[in-house]
Amino acid sequence: MKAIVIHEHGGLDKLKYEEVDKPKISPGEVLIQVKASSLNHLDIFVRNGIPGIKIPLPHILGSDCSGIVAEVGSEVRQVKVGDRVTVNPGRWCGRCEFCVAGEQSLCPYFQIMGEHVDGAWAEFVKVPEESVHPIPGGLSFEEAAAFPLVFLTAWRMLITRAALKPGETVLIIGIGGGVAMAAMQIAKYAGAKVIVTSGSQEKLQKALSLGADVGINHREQDFAAEIAKLTGKRGVDVVVDSVGADTWQKCILSLAKGGRLVTCGATSGPNPKEDLLRIFWKQLSILGSTMGNQREFNELLRAFDTGRLKPIIDQVYPLAEAAKALQRLEEQAQFGKIVLTVS
């Protein structure tokens, strides 16, 4: 089969579109004929190499996919050949205290497809049965490949970790990125008011047309000062951040008393100057979040079934042009998800 493979870590030139062996499934696994995959920032980290994480090389990239079940293992019961499916990219042991409690993303052996194990930028991918789900809400293959990682991440951040309530105000930093876009839709779905920031006026306009209530250009304005103005100095209830160092202090400043900051990444750096005075005086909660558990993935599928969530697709490329697609992501030129189709 054809796949996008890296043999060593490095730049875009390390991506090779080449012939590899089709995966062989074990009794509890499912072989999926991939129809579409999508790109995540994780793909760039994996391609570059992540300090402290050993990725077996050669390695197939890609954490998200949708497709048609081509083959099932002898012990598979819930999935059958021909099913149109999407995949939860998480992998877990199923036996530790966290897995038994239903908190798979806290599993000490937690892995992500495309990071620790071969991914889905390929014609076929093998997946454990429990990670395979019917495509919800009449989504296309492209849409069904665009939502799992980012929507699952944003769902756990807002619904579980921040326990977002209707009528609350959420500030989302850096609209246009996959998790931020998913967070915007989920916050609206949960009945919250949504304020987004971006350095691009075009991205702000698009976000407003998709349901954001307020857009702040963080290149032209101090977003913490704007939040103070917009909320009568009260601040927002929840901040969703994955930028880290560059925005952290302003995120803390933007929170109301008792507010919650949820972080799922640190694209600008992991060590911001911390503001402990404000954290204890305002009684803030700083919440970390990574991916999500099976219950959250199922809740997300039901939310898609209502038709009120819809992955926003930026551009679609054929699998062979993955390097070109990844370049667009690296340049942050995208608004929504970049998708790869597999013929």
- Smaller CB distance to Zn ion: residue 68 or 96? 96
> Minimum CB separation from Zn ion for residue 106, in Å?
8
CA distance linking residue 312 with residue 142, whole number of Å: 10
Closer of 57 and 101 to Zn ion (Cβ): 101
Is residue 76 a contact point for Zn ion (CB under 5 A)? no
Residue by residue, DSSP assigns 46-68 as HHH--TT----SSEE--SEEEEE
For 321: left if phi > 0, alpha if psi spans -120 to 50, otherwise beta; the answer is: alpha
Count of residues engaged in binding Zn ion, rule: CB under 5 A: 5
Structural tokens at position 206: 């698009």
* Sole window of 5-13, 101-109, 182-190, 285-293 interacting with Zn ion (rule: CB under 5 A): 101-109
Question: What span, in angstroms and rounded, lies between the C-alpha atoms of 104 and 130?
Answer: 12
Establish if 171 lies at the interface with Zn ion (CB under 5 A): no
According to the binding rule CB under 5 A, does residue 99 interact with Zn ion?
yes
Q: Which two tokens stand for residue 29?
A: 């696994």
Positive or negative torsion for Cα 41, 43, 49, 53: positive
Question: In the range 16-35, which residues lie near Zn ion by CB under 5 A?
Answer: none
Which residue sits closest to Zn ion, CB atoms considered?
Answer: 107
Residue 106 is a binding residue for Zn ion (CB under 5 A)? no
- 107 is a site residue for Zn ion (CB under 5 A): yes
**Region binding Zn ion by CB under 5 A among candidate stretches 52-60, 105-113, 186-194, 331-339:** 105-113
Give the one residue of 20, 96, 316, 323 binding Zn ion; rule: CB under 5 A.
96
Give the side-chain half-sphere CA count within 13 A for 211: 20
DSSP code of residue 104: G
Site track 284-323 with Zn ion (rule: CB under 5 A), x = hit: ----------------------------------------
Stretch that binds Zn ion, among 99-107, 148-156, 157-165, 225-233 (CB under 5 A): 99-107
CB of 99 to Zn ion, least distance (A): 3
| Segment interacting with Zn ion, rule: CB under 5 A, options 9-17, 84-92, 141-149, 311-319 | 84-92
Residue with tokens 């890296």: 6
In the chain the first and final C-alpha atoms are separated, in Å, by 11
For the chain, strand residue ranges (E) read 2-6, 15-19, 29-38, 59-60, 64-72, 84-87, 90-91, 111-112, 124-128, 132-134, 169-172, 193-198, 214-217, 236-241, 255-263, 285-288, 313-318, 337-341
Give me the least distance between CB of 109 and Zn ion, in Å please: 5
129 or 321: CB nearest Zn ion: 129
Query: Which listed residue (1, 93, 279, 287) binds Zn ion by CB under 5 A?
Result: 93
Q: What length does the chain have? A: 343
Which H/E stretch holds residue 41?
helix 41-48
Cβ distance to Zn ion smaller for residue 235 or 292: 292
Task: Single out the segment in contact with Zn ion by CB under 5 A; choices: 92-100, 120-128, 159-167, 192-200.
Answer: 92-100
Binding segment toward Zn ion, per CB under 5 A, in 12-20, 24-32, 95-103, 163-171: 95-103
Judged by CB under 5 A, which of 59, 86, 92, 169 binds Zn ion?
A: 92
Which pair of tokens denotes residue 275? Answer: 């503001």
Please give the Cα distance from 199 to 216 (Å, whole number).
8
List of residues contacting Zn ion (CB under 5 A): 92-93, 96, 99, 107
